[in-house]
Structure 1
Amino acid sequence: MADSRQNNEIFEWKYFLLLSTVPFFAVLTELAPTGVLSSIAGDLNVDIAKAGSLVGHYALAAAIFGIPLIAASVTMDRKKLLMMILFALGIFNLIVAFSTNFTLTHIARFLSGLSAGVMWPMIVAYGVKMTSKNHGGRAVAVIMAGSTIGMSLGIPLFTLVAKLFGWRAEFYLMGGLILLDMLLIGKILPSVPGEERTESNSLPMIIKNKGVLTVMLITTLVIIANYGVYVYIERMVDSFKLSGGISLAQLCFGAGSLVSVILVTKLIDGHLYGLLVGLFSLGVLSLLSFRIFRGTALVAHLSFAAWGMSYSSVSTLLQAVVSKQVSKGRDIATSLQSAMFNLSILIGTHFSGFILTETGGDINPVILMGIVFLTGGTIVAILSRKIIERDPA
């Protein structure tokens, strides 16, 4: 099979659907502990806060080490690199599954985060190189749909497995499926060579790129807004006394996410700017409706669905935009965006937690914070049309 980027207009769905399983399993690996923290804490004899570090330090490892590792591996064959990452994720999940020592579990989770820090940037660049530039946006949308499906369907399903068979069963299952995925990718996907090291794809050159810096700014504002509010979605639902509770709110949110996947996949190549501005604006309106209408039946449920449409599309749209800012060094450009994404999660969740503490648990100032930051990100996006619509070729 050819080792170069496809030059025809055929979109090989089987390649990109298979690649979408990688973000699916990455999201599961990252967030799996959240539904079983109390079980993990009890089994490993630590308190719930310490068990929570298994999620936080995973994200920290991805944020810190993603950029240097991507820069170091820029010349490697993309398929071989992806298989190495999946092997590592699979093994580290299995270590978590059988470990009875918190320190070993913590090390395995940290190394999983490190592996994911390499995976997120390179998976998009790998996919884009397997199709023509006219289908680059669709490739990103299909691949990143795996993360949306992982959040909306995968997490509840694997949490159910943990509830029925124990939290270790969840990690055994993930580890085994990830290793199987590695074998399928090795058999089915084409090899794509890495890039020769040049000044144009070096980290110092990429980080000076105005378009990349603009995407990083938008990422910071939008992710602080969304994650800062979403982490307290349960508090918000309880405060609103919402009919149907958290389960119905998450169902509406998930339904909106799935609609977004279909919409973005169909329109991203020809309407990236309109999608990005429109969906970000929809997010602002949904947060505003929470402030104005609070728990009003139907309105609040529709707002959760609208927020799901906006929120779930963020990663896909921003990865598509940043990949258009450079013709060489896409892996490094996307690694910068991914690192900012992860750092913004930490900033957003800590900032909203601080606000919640200082206001005596009032969720409304947190929602207001989300509105301010998301509005800022939307305004920057509106003013950056030339950057968003840039064609690096």
Structure 2
Amino acid sequence: MATRSSLSVDPRAETKGQKLPMVALLALATAVFITSLTETLPAGLLPAMRADLMVSESAMGQSVTVYAIGTALTALPLTAATAGWRRKRLLLTAMAGFALANTVTAVSTYYPLTMMARFVAGVAAGLAWAMLPGYARRMAPVHLQGKAIAIAMAGIPIALSLGVPAGTLLGEALSWQTAFLVMTMLTVVLLAWITATVPDYPGQRPENRTPTLRTLGVPGVAPVLLVTLIFVLAHTILYTYIATFLDRVGLGDSTGLVLLVFGVTCLLSIWIVGAHIHRRLRVLTIASALLIAVAAAVLAVRADSPALIYAAVVLWGLGWGGAPTLLQTAVGDAGGESADAAQAMLVTLWNAAMAGGAAAGGLLLDLLGPPSFPWSALVLLMPALVVVITARAHGFPTRRAAMTTDRRLTPPDGNTPISTSASDR
């Protein structure tokens, strides 16, 4: 390892006063917002879309599933195929894919064409999600990398808590087609924003690439991926059918308010994680699992109390909001030279868990009813917590700061130094 005196400093990371490039990071947050909202928007527009496309509600609901399938199937091969692309070019390509897919969705009157557009949107999401955490991290000084990722990931709860209700209201007031066209216009604005403000970085050189499957053998990657799979599966079972669960306990009319509380506490969680992740990734991940587990336990045993249900939702939001940042940071740290491949694996498992969680929730609903949702989440979270606690050396190490500080090396071609501690290759 190079000594401190021989290290080169990335001038793009060492900005004046080591401040974060907020305008560029907010552009990435908007990209995350668009990817999340594009995936979930049909949920709020389902009846109108079903009627216009003349299919059943369950068939129209598959527009969310096919998006996740598109991401899960293509994230790994496309990330490998585009590893050498310059990062800005790749980001612009992915976001242009969203503009195309949402435009086709808006104008289509043919169900198979709509589903093809949704699949293309999922493919674009796979490209974007595999690179966005590393992109955000690459723009920041080492000690602010966690905060940079948290800012970029803030687009998720904003999309879920504000974007979906706003899109639903827009669809009801005008049309569901208008809602998707607004997404296209927002994406066009974002393309100009990225072009003007987001810095560019080189892709990974062929000699530095690790075969994707070999990445699983990198110490720490497998535990993080396993925790990701369980976390998302548990969360999706409960979140996908939260309206059904609330209706069962007499709060069906308050679903919007419950989701708003969840979204606001998710934003608070992201802020807390961003402020402390650099030195407390392990503690925050354990706390995240515990908070969601406690929330599930409260929903399981005291669903008769509206006050306790809201308290549980607050704990759930506090535990879940920062989870994407924690898991993406952990897999980036563990992946090292193979960070992009590790991120692509995380994206694949994330979407597979979303599809699996929705399917599992449907089976639970038919077999055991809504009360089974929080119990299932609680049972799933127990092994995830065990993995986080036991992965002390790699994955969720006790001394992360020593892994990430002062490890910027000058590449052989003498160009701008790049960090070896993150997914920024």
TM-score normalised per structure 1 = 0.95
The farther-off stretch of 254-263 and 93-102 is 254-263
Sort the Cα spacing of 1:244 and 1:252 in 2 relative to 1 into closer, same or farther, 3 A: farther
Query: Which of these residues, 365, 369, 384, is aligned with residue 391 of structure 2?
Result: 384
Superposition deviation, residue 290 in structure 1: 1.0
Of 225, 235, 241, which aligns to 1:226? 235
Superposed counterparts of 1:151-300, under 5 Å: 151-198=160-207, 200-242=209-251, 245-300=254-309
Q: Is the 8 A contact 1:31 1:155 kept in 2?
A: yes
Q: CA deviation at 1:276?
A: 1.0
CA distance in 1, matches of 2:309, 2:14: 47
Contact 1:16 1:143 (C-alpha < 8 Å) held by counterparts: yes
Confirm or deny: 8 A CA contact 1:130 1:192 kept in the other structure. Answer: no
Looking at structure 2, the residues matched to 42 and 259 of structure 1 have their Cα atoms a distance apart, in angstroms, of 38
Secondary structure of residue in 2 paired with 1:198: helix
Deviation of 1:296 (Å): 0.7
How many angstroms apart in 2 are the aligned matches of 1:384 and 1:166?
49
CA distance in structure 2 between the partners assigned to 1:4 and 1:30 by the alignment: 36
CA gap of 1:196–1:214, structure 2 versus 1, over 3 A, is same
Does structure 1 residue 48 correspond to structure 2 residue 42?
Answer: no
The reply on whether 1:311 has 2:320 as its aligned counterpart is yes
Q: Is the 8 A contact 2:44 2:167 kept in 1?
A: no
Asked whether 1:364 is paired with 2:375, we answer no
User: What is the match of residue 32 of structure 1?
Assistant: 41
How many angstroms apart in 1 are the aligned matches of 2:358 and 2:63?
15
Shift of 1:103: 1.6
Instruction: Give the aligned residue type for 2:211.
Output: S
- Report the Cα distance in structure 2 between the residues aligned to 1:357 and 1:243, rounded to whole angstroms: 19
Instruction: Find the partner of 2:94 among 85, 101, 114.
Output: 85
**Aligned-residue offset at 1:258:** 2.0
Contact 2:244 2:252 in 1 (8 A): no
SS of residue matched to 1:241: coil
Deviation at 1:245, TM superposition (A): 2.6
Q: Within the alignment, does 1:121 sit opposite 2:130 as a pair?
A: yes
* Residue identity (%): 27
User: For 2:367 and 2:359, how far apart are their aligned partners in 1?
Assistant: 12
Aligned to 2:337: 328
Distance (whole Å) between structure 2 residues aligned to residue 351 and residue 235 of structure 1: 14
Deviates more, 1:3-12 or 1:53-62: 3-12
Contact 2:137 2:149 survives alignment (8 Å): yes
Task: Give the distance between the partners of 1:148 and 1:243, measured in 2 at CA.
Answer: 21
Aligned partner of 1:373 among 374, 377, 380: 380
In structure 1, the residue matched to 2:144 is 135
- TM normalised by structure 2 equals 0.88
For 1:25 and 1:112, the matched residues in 2 are separated by: 10
1:6 CA drift (Å): 2.3
* Distance in structure 1 (CA, Å) of the matches to 2:38 and 2:11: 31
Query: 2:165 and 2:45 mapped to 1: Cα distance?
Result: 11
Inter-partner Cα distance in structure 1 for 2:94 and 2:165: 25
Unaligned runs of 5+ in 1: none
By how many angstroms is 1:131 displaced?
Answer: 1.9
1:315-341 per-position Cα deviation (integer Å, ceiling 9, x unaligned): 121111111113323221101011011
Q: Distance in 2 between matches of 1:296 and 1:212?
A: 41
Ranges in structure 2 where 5+ consecutive residues have no aligned partner = 1-8, 405-420
Deviation sequence 1:58-110 (CA, Å, 0-9, x none): 10010010000001101100001100111111111111111111121111111
Task: Name the CA distance, whole Å, in 1 between partners of 2:377 and 2:106.
Answer: 36
CA contact under 8 A between 1:3 and 1:193: conserved in structure 2?
Answer: no
Aligned counterparts of 1:191 and 1:4: Cα–Cα separation in 2: 13
Q: 1:244 to 1:301 in 2, by over 3 A?
A: farther
Contact 2:227 2:388 in 1 (8 A): yes
Q: Hey, what's the Cα distance between the residues in 2 that align with 1:5 and 1:340? A: 32
Q: Secondary structure at the match of 1:386?
A: coil
2:408 equivalent in structure 1: none
* Counterpart contact for 1:5–1:192, Cα < 8 Å: no
Match of 2:409 in 1: none
The verdict on how the C-alpha distance between 1:85 and 1:98 changes in structure 2, with shifts beyond 3 A counting, is same
Change (3 A) 1:96 1:276: same
Deviates more, 1:195-204 or 1:83-92: 195-204
